[in-house]
C-alpha cells in the first residue's frame, strides 16, 4: 500500500496537495512529523531497537508511531 503525506506551508497551513512517502519534498513545502517519548517515573526514556532488516537497522531510538491514531492508541495503552 502506497503512503502519502499532506503538504504544508512553513506556518502549518495545508496546501491541499499530497506527496508519496520517499519522494523529495519541494523546497518551501513541509510535512508534519510528531514524536512522542515515553518517560518513566525515574525520568528514563523508553527506547526500542530497530530490527536489522529495517532502515537504520539495529539502532536504538525512542518508540515511534507515525499515524496520529496509532499515537493516541499507544498513549492509552501505557496508562
Nearest Cα neighbor of 34 from 78, 74, 76 is 74
Note the pLDDT tens digit of each residue in 18-47. Answer: 999 889 999 999 998 877 778 889 998 887
What are the sequence ranges of the domains in the chain?
A: 1-32, 33-79
pLDDT of 55 over the 80 cut: no
Amino acid at each position: 500500500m502506497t503512503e502519502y503525506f499532506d503538504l504544508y506551508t512553513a506556518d502549518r497551513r495545508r496546501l491541499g496537495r499530497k506527496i508519496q512517502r520517499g519522494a523529495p519534498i519541494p523546497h518551501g513545502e513541509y510535512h508534519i512529523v510528531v514524536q512522542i517519548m515515553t518517560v518513566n517515573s525515574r525520568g528514563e526514556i523508553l527506547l526500542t531497537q530497530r530490527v536489522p532488516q529495517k532502515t537504520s537497522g539495529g539502532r536504538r531510538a525512542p518508540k515511534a508511531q507515525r499515524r496520529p491514531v496509532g499515537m493516541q492508541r499507544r498513549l492509552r495503552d501505557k496508562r
